[in-house]
Copies of this chain bind each other. A is one copy, B any other.
């Protein structure tokens, strides 16, 4: 109820922590958790996350306003989030349901905390499932010819309604225009292998190569396909007994748990992106 999180990125320089600590101390905030990290104390990049409680935070209208004296002094990128202002998540999905279902289920059980104002899909398949969770479902087909219109329709639906977009196995590539409307706010999940198998039929090629590990990576979407800042990764051990279908099934299990962790960390404001990299506190 009184819980807030302050996230900061700026050039490292003496006095940042002292200034932030004093600011919170003067406002009678209790610091619950504080993490900071510097790429290099001399001219590197400084990252900080402070989770804190402020009594009657709701009456403290000016917390963000007041912090500007500090943020401007140190030229900070920063934000303050309040835990009781639930983030609004739009889920994009195609035909595979495993990631969608994991998210809906964790939201229902309280393992994830967010609002889901909409699920958008280029296929009609999951309408019944989504609506059974009392979430509006929008079917917006996408073809090569209609992609521009489809994205316009998606953007209109999303406008001012969502804080983060989760691509839960959404098998369409978003245009740079779309991505630029939600910078740093789109989370994707994709399979990962050692070595990587770029291109079509990755599981078939991983099988042919006899990989011993298969994995998944969740990352923020940038305009470099599957190349945005990595949020979370995990793997599972496999062996020659596993057929292509087994690899896909196990891959799906990893995808849903990795995506759910990444989304959870985003919702708890644990992630700061910088250049093409995340700091996860």
Contact = CB atoms under 8 A, between A and B. Distances in A.
Contact of A17 (B34, B41, B111, B232): B34
Q: How many copies of this kind of chain does the complex include?
A: 4
Interface in A32-69: 32-38, 41-42, 47, 52-53
Interface stretch (A139-147, A159-167, A192-200): A192-200
A80 interface: no
A132 B133 CA distance: 12
8 contacts: A17-B34, A33-B36, A41-B53, A97-B109, A195-B196, A208-B277, A210-B276, A213-B233
A53 B280 CA distance: 24
A45 B148 CA distance: 48
Interface stretch (A21-29, A83-91, A173-181): A21-29
B209 A230 contact: yes
A139 B171 CA distance: 42
Interface string A229-251: 11111110101110000000100
Nearest to A101: B105
A55 to B, nearest CB: 11
Of all A-B residue pairs in the complex, the 5 with the closest CB atoms, nearest first, are: A210-B277, A30-B41, A18-B21, A17-B21, A192-B194
Contacts of A53: 41
A37 B33 contact: yes
Interface in A231-281: 231-235, 237, 239-241, 249, 252-253, 257, 275-280
B230 A210 contact: yes
A101 B106 CA distance: 11
A280 B239 CA distance: 8
Nearest to A192: B194
A259 to B, nearest CB: 13
Interface residues of A, number: 70
Given A14-B30, A38-B31, A235 B232 contact: no
A12 interface: yes
Contacts of A241: 33, 37
Interface in A168-221: 192-196, 208-213, 215, 217
A279 B240 contact: yes
Contacts of A257: 253, 257
Interface centre among A105, A196, A212, A232 (most CB of B within 10 A): A212
A98 interface: yes
Interface centre among A47, A53, A111 (most CB of B within 10 A): A111
Contacts of A208: 275-277
